Every structure is written in structure tokens, then in C-alpha cells.
């Protein structure tokens, strides 16, 4: 917090307002104070401060309700709540509603300053990222592939080599593994980068329409052909044509495609003039073309012509080290697209992402993160923000015999406390007892973690 900021302080205790005003005024910050939630909201609307420090328990409108109203006005202003120890459960719920973090009274000023500094720094970083997203166009350079997987790194090196040639390429892999991204990387790293990149899905059109789409047609070639139309082979001249789902191409069209690959020439439907074209063909499929050849549904000669270079996209389950890397990339992307300020994933969400099998691969991961960004109302994505298939299955077993006769509400609270204690112990163990990292992973302040450790007698 080296540069001056406008800080809104909302607390019904005059002594707290005076103390915080004195502390932050010394550093050159501009301070605005409110003694209840209603006044805090009015000042928030009027001034749009850089950061808000707000007590939970206030007259007229409490801090939780004020938080929700403020988040609806300006989502990019971080709000830190101040609370007594007895209201920690309420503060944790506030994190889900959009609070950046909270501190427990009596708090240490150094801890509060560090927390505020982190919130403001993160806001500035996100603003810079959003600006870059608006200014930069999509890039498909090989060095932009996000991966920590050795096989994917080797694939990137192969793409760089293949891109410099004019050889046909066959890209194989399951749906959602990024076959189109590989094709674009080849094109935009090749000498054809300034030419067109055109994609057609061979399984999305009936045979007659697909033939017309690829080859074009002359006026009067068939009913409804009222004018001459260029096909994709012609429009992709000096560029790249991606034939997606090549395994779905009708057998009759495979013969005609083979001629284009061999001779680089074709005729429009209904025409007799031979048209030369200079295109690179990249084919992609999630089917086993070798098996289709044995079944007689795919031409062997076409397969060999397409399969000069074969690249295989790995399914996400075979590159588990990339799951969180890609998830954070998508979080940044969808934050910018949805004008959100989400920091990251809490421990439960991270575990859910890592434990899931991802049958839909990278596409499914992208969709899951986009949904979570849309559903989240706070600064963190929790497990219950993720799609249902990622949620852990909760066993519905018989009630514990040891709780017979206990009050239902008390029984629920005790079970929740037991779960919370076990969860904190596991996270603490993961970070080898480091309280700072544990608190960060749990999405709470270090002081709040210390209170929890004391409450549950965790050493």
C-alpha cells in the first residue's frame, strides 16, 4: 500500500473508526467513515472507494446485507469484514457472498495492512490482465500451449517442425482434447500463416451439401443453384483447410478428396473447368481409421495420403499435472469475459478438479470452470460452484447410534465441527504445518486459522 488509496471504514464503534483513521491517514490514504450499514452503502455509491473495511454487526443494515448490496453496485472493490470471534461462522459465509477476507477482533494492524495490500495488489493485477485480454488477439504460437506434461511438450516441438512443411497432417484424439487448437497452431506457425484457415465438419452436413461446400458449384448445377459459388477448396487457396471428423466423410466423396490431395485440382459441381488450388489439408478425427479401413468404410489410399504426419492429442486423464494449470487459465479467461474478480479455487474445489476423470477432456474442463465463474458470487470458487458430476457422492447411511436422544440441531452442529476439524488437519498436513499457506488454501486469514486451531486443540 505504497500509493494513496481511498478507504471506506464502516463500524458502529467510534473508537475503532478513530484508531483506523489515525493509522491509515498517517500513510497518506483518504479515509471515509460510516457508523452503520445504511450510511456505508450511501458513501460507497457516492465515492466508490478503493477498498472497504466493514464490521459485520452494525445497526440499521448489518455488514452481510451491506456486503451483498455493495457487490451489486461495484464488483471490483474488495471488501474486508471485521468480526468478533463469536461471529466467525457468519464471516465464513460472507466469503461465499463476495467478501475478500475477514479479520477477527481484536486484530493485529500489521496483519490487516498485509491483507489490504494483497487485496489491492490483486485488484490491480486483474485490471492489467483484463486490459491485456481486450488488447491482444488470440495467439496460437507453439509456446502458448499450457502444459507441464512431457508428452505434450514433445508434441509442441513436433508441431513446430511439421508447421514448416506442406505435408498433410492427421490429428487424432478423443473429443475435447484440442485437435482444432493443434491444427491452428500448425497453420499460424507455417509459411501459410497469412493465408486463410478454414474449418468444415464432415459429419455435420449431408453428402450433397458437403460436396457443394467443398467443391463449389456452377449456376444451375442443381435445383436451387441460382448463382455460381466458390467451394472451400477454392476459398482456402494459399492457406489451410481443416477437415474435422474426417471419419464421417461419405465414401463417394473420399475418392474426390484423394484427387485434390494428389493433383491439387478439382472442378466445381456442374462445371468442366479445372481449377488449381494450393492448400494444405489437415484432417482430424476421434475415430479409429485403421479399423474403419478393415470394415470397408474408409479408403486405405486416402488414409495414407492424409497420414503423412500423425499427431495425437492426449486425453486430459493422461496429463493430470495440467488440470489445475488449465483450470486457472480458464478462470482468468472467464473472469475477463464475465467481468468477475475471482481469485482462485478453494481446497475442496481443487480436490474435486483433480479427482474427476474428465471424460469430456479439456472442453469439459473449460465448460466446468465457466459455469463455476458464472455461479460464484464471491472471490473464491468452492466445490458446490462446480457442475454436479464433480460433486463428491455423500453417503446416506444410518444415523450414528451414539447420538440417540441428542437434540437434532446440536447434533448437526457437532457433526459439522467434527468435519471442519478433520478438514483443517488434512490441509495443515498437506502444507506440512505451515499456517500461512494453510490459511491461504482455506481462504481465511491466519488469525482466523489460529482461533480454529485453539478451538479444536489442534497442535
Q: Which domains, and CATH codes, for the chain?
A: 6-135 (3.40.50.2300), 150-313 (3.40.50.300), 317-390 (1.10.8.60), 401-455 (1.10.10)
- pLDDT per residue, tens digit, the chain (459 aa), is 567 899 999 999 999 999 999 999 988 899 999 999 999 999 999 999 999 999 998 988 999 999 999 988 988 899 999 887 656 677 777 888 888 888 888 888 888 888 888 888 877 776 665 554 444 333 445 555 778 888 998 998 899 999 999 999 999 999 999 999 999 999 999 999 989 999 999 998 888 889 999 999 888 888 777 888 899 999 999 999 999 999 999 999 999 999 999 999 999 998 889 999 999 999 999 999 999 999 999 999 999 999 999 999 999 999 998 999 899 999 989 998 988 888 888 888 888 999 899 999 999 999 999 999 998 877 788 888 899 888 765 444 444 444 444 444 444 545 666 777 888 888 888 888 888 888 778 877 776 677 677 767 787
State the pLDDT at residue 255.
Answer: 92
E strand or H helix that includes residue 192: none
CA distance 215 to 207: 12
State the pLDDT at residue 42.
Answer: 95
- Quickly count helices (H) and strands (E) in the chain: 18, 16
Q: Tell the burial category of 358 from Cβ atoms under 10 Å away from its Cβ (0-12, 13-18, 19+).
A: buried
State the pLDDT at residue 45.
Answer: 93
Grid cell, residue 342, equals: 475471482
Query: Which residue, 328, 351, 352, 346, is CA-closest to 439?
Result: 346
For residue 106, say if its preceding peptide bond is cis, omega within 30 degrees of 0. yes
Contact 441, 426 (CB under 8 A): no
Tens digit of each residue's pLDDT (9 = 90 or more) over 365-418: 999 999 999 988 777 888 888 998 887 654 444 444 444 444 444 445 456 667
Strand, helix or coil at 169? strand
Long-range contacts of 427-433 (CB under 8 A, 24+ apart): 427/347, 428/458
Sign of torsion over alpha carbons 344, 350, 352, 358: positive
Grid cell, residue 316, equals: 486430459
Tens digit of each residue's pLDDT (9 = 90 or more) over 64-92: 999 999 988 988 899 999 887 656 677 77
Grid cell, residue 79, equals: 471488501
State the pLDDT at residue 290.
Answer: 93
The neighbour count for residue 344, using CB atoms within 10 Å, is 18
Determine if the pTM surpasses 0.75. Answer: no
Strand, helix or coil at 202? coil
Cell 450433397 sits at which residue? 208
Contact 64, 102 (CB under 8 A): no
Amino acid at each position: 500500500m505504497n500509493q494513496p488509496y481511498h478507504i471506506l471504514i464502516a463500524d458502529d464503534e467510534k473508537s475503532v473508526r478513530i484508531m483506523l483513521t489515525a493509522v491509515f491517514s498517517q500513510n497518506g490514504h483518504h479515509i471515509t467513515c460510516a457508523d452503520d450499514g445504511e450510511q456505508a452503502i450511501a458513501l460507497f455509491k457516492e465515492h466508490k472507494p478503493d477498498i472497504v473495511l466493514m464490521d459485520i454487526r452494525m445497526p440499521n443494515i448489518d455488514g452481510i446485507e451491506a456486503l451483498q448490496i455493495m457487490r451489486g453496485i461495484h464488483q471490483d472493490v474488495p471488501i474486508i469484514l471485521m468480526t468478533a470471534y463469536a461471529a466467525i461462522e457468519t464471516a465464513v459465509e460472507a466469503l461465499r457472498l463476495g467478501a475478500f477476507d475477514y479479520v477477527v477482533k481484536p486484530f493485529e494492524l500489521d496483519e490487516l495492512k498485509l491483507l489490504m495490500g494483497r487485496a489491492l495488489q490483486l485488484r490491480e493485477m486483474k485490471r492489467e490482465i483484463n486490459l491485456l485480454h481486450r488488447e491482444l488477439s488470440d495467439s496460437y504460437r507453439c509456446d502458448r500451449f499450457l502444459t507441464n506434461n512431457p508428452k505434450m511438450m514433445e508434441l509442441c516441438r513436433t508441431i513446430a517442425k511439421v508447421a514448416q512443411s506442406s505435408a498433410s497432417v492427421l490429428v487424432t484424439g478423443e473429443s475435447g482434447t484440442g485437435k482444432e487448437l493443434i491444427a491452428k497452431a500448425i497453420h499460424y506457425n507455417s509459411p501459410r500463416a497469412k493465408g486463410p484457415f478454414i474449418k468444415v465438419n464432415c459429419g455435420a452436413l449431408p453428402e450433397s451439401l458437403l460436396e457443394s461446400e467443398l467443391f463449389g458449384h456452377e449456376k444451375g448445377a442443381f435445383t436451387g443453384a441460382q448463382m455460381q459459388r466458390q467451394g472451400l477448396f477454392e476459398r482456402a487457396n494459399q492457406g489451410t483447410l481443416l477437415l474435422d471428423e474426417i471419419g464421417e466423410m461419405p465414401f463417394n466423396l473420399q475418392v474426390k478428396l484423394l484427387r485434390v490431395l494428389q493433383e491439387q485440382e478439382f472442378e466445381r459441381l456442374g462445371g468442366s473447368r479445372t481449377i488449381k488450388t494450393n492448400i494444405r489439408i489437415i484432417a482430424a478425427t476421434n475415430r479409429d481409421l485403421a479399423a474403419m479401413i478393415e470394415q470397408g468404410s474408409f479408403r486405405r489410399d486416402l488414409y495414407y495420403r492424409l497420414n503423412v504426419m500423425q499427431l495425437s492429442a492426449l486425453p486430459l486423464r493422461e496429463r493430470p499435472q495440467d488440470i489445475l494449470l488449465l483450470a486457472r487459465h480458464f478462470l482468468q479467461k472467464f473472469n475477463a469475459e464475465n467481468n468477475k474478480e475471482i481469485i482462485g479455487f478453494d481446497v475442496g474445489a481443487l480436490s474435486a478438479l483433480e479427482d474427476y476423470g474428465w471424460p469430456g477432456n479439456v472442453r469439459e474442463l473449460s465448460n466446468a470452470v465457466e459455469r463455476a465463474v458464472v455461479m460464484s458470487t464471491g472471490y473464491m470458487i468452492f466445490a458446490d460452484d462446480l457442475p454436479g458430476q464433480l460433486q463428491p457422492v455423500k453417503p446416506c447411511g444410518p444415523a450414528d447410534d451414539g447420538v440417540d436422544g441428542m437434540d437434532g440441531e446440536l447434533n448437526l452442529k457437532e457433526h459439522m465441527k467434527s468435519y471442519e476439524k478433520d478438514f483443517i488437519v488434512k490441509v495443515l498436513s498437506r502444507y506440512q504445518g505451515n499456517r500461512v499457506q494453510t490459511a491461504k488454501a482455506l481462504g481465511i486469514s491466519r488469525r482466523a486459522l489460529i482461533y480454529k486451531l485453539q478451538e479444536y486443540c489442534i497442535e
